[in-house]
Amino acid sequence: MKIAHFAVFAPHGAGQYETVRDLIKAERIVGIEAEFVDYAFQGKMENRVGLQDGHITTVGLDYAKEADVLFRHSAIPPKVEKETGKPVVLCLHGRPESTWRIGFGGEGKLIETIIQSSKKPNYKEFITFWEPFVFYWQNIIPAREVRYIPTPVDLMRYNPVGGRHKFHETGEPNIVIADLWRLDDSPFNVIFAVEKFRQKYCNKAKLHIYGLPKEEHRAFLAKLRADGLFGDFFSPVAGLSSVYRAADLVVTPHIIATRVVREALASGCPLVGGEGNPYTEFQANAKDIDAYAAMINKAWVQTKDCRDEYGRLMRRRATNSFNLQQTGEAIKKLIEGKILNAN
């Protein structure tokens, strides 16, 4: 069995890319031949061949002719779809509200594109990596069944053993934010919750932020910067595993298993998540900054003297929930049972 994954090659630059990277490894573990086909806008849409990142080396469009199935993550050239006639699986990476908001803000009509794709006969399956979103997508594209595939993380790449990042300024505790800033949810409120925690519970705390938008978007942080809240600030690193190992806590507003949730737990870092996050006992509504600050304090008090013990617990959760084997098996079952047999 051969799968051609169409996506944009962007190491350390996009959560979608990192998930595709993990999917390919998961598929290879269960005996599927899977390759990465880069198709990106570089002044014009073009296919870049020979780009390397670990187990990934991008291949040419001709690979699609050999593949049994095409996985669409970003875009597939219409000519390739037409000429190959191969079945397509559309991966719904985005959160439904965020996907809708992109179009609402005039930046692109992603929802409309997905709806149109559901009407194409060669689009055989639609998948999401977050079970709670099945209901949303099923009602947005009712013409097709939307299936859940367990979201993965590379447990070899993100693990508790290895080097630890040296923060520019250290705190006690060292708290990390590494979420992407999305239209429907962002770490905006979490930053102020950490400052509330620092003022009320622990004035030695430092917050380290990775992935904050451009400098012109950071004016709201001027006072917090002057007051000494931040250590590392938008420092680029090639992979965050060493950062997670060095952190005392990772904080996020999210409930679902975003990249940060998966990677932090796999790296053995205690996590404070949004209210209802099933992967951590430390959870609160990030928009209620008093409640979230109190939860940060609870997490710090409970974990600071037994960080290694909690690290092992976090690692077990990641191993049970996000391992590549279960993802690969789910994809193999989907393709063999629902696509290849149907053809």
Whether the link from the prior residue into 173 is cis, omega within 30° of 0, is yes
CA distance 335 to 124: 10
* Co-location of 201 and 317 in the same domain: yes
Residue 122 Cα distances to 71, 99, 339, angstroms? 12, 23, 10
To the nearest whole number, what is the mean pLDDT of the chain?
92
pLDDT single digits (tens) 162-175: 999 999 999 999 99
pLDDT single digits (tens) 234-270: 766 667 999 999 999 999 999 999 999 999 999 999 9
* Co-location of 187 and 315 in the same domain: yes
CA distance 196 to 32: 49
> Mean per-residue pLDDT for 78-84?
91
Q: How many CA atoms lie within 13 A of 17 on its CB side?
A: 17
* Co-location of 330 and 249 in the same domain: no
* Co-location of 317 and 181 in the same domain: yes
Higher pLDDT among residues 132 and 100, named by residue = 132
Query: How buried is 162 (Cβ within 10 angstroms: 0-12 exposed, 13-18 middle, 19+ buried)?
Result: exposed
Domain assignment present for residue 278? The answer is yes
pLDDT single digits (tens) 274-316: 999 999 999 999 999 999 999 999 999 999 999 899 999 999 9
Q: Which domain holds residue 51?
A: 2-152+323-340
**What letter represents residue 296's amino acid?**
I
Dihedral of alpha carbons 249, 255, 260, 263, sign: positive
> Mean per-residue pLDDT for 71-90?
93
* Co-location of 118 and 189 in the same domain: no
- For the chain, what percent of residues have pLDDT higher than 90? 77
CA distance 285 to 296: 12
Q: What is the pLDDT of residue 43?
A: 73
Fill in the DSSP letter of residue 220.
Answer: G
* Co-location of 182 and 299 in the same domain: yes
Domain assignment present for residue 126? The answer is yes
What's the CATH code of the domain at 66? 3.40.50.2000
Domain assignment present for residue 204? The answer is yes
* Co-location of 95 and 185 in the same domain: no
* Co-location of 62 and 96 in the same domain: yes
Q: What is the pLDDT of residue 107?
A: 58
Report yes or no: 247 and 170 within 8 Å, Cβ to Cβ.
no
Residue 331 Cα distances to 263, 290, 340, angstroms? 21, 42, 12
* Co-location of 122 and 32 in the same domain: yes
* Co-location of 194 and 293 in the same domain: yes
Domain assignment present for residue 158? The answer is no
How many independent structural domains does the chain possess? 2
Q: What is the pLDDT of residue 183?
A: 76
* Co-location of 186 and 312 in the same domain: yes
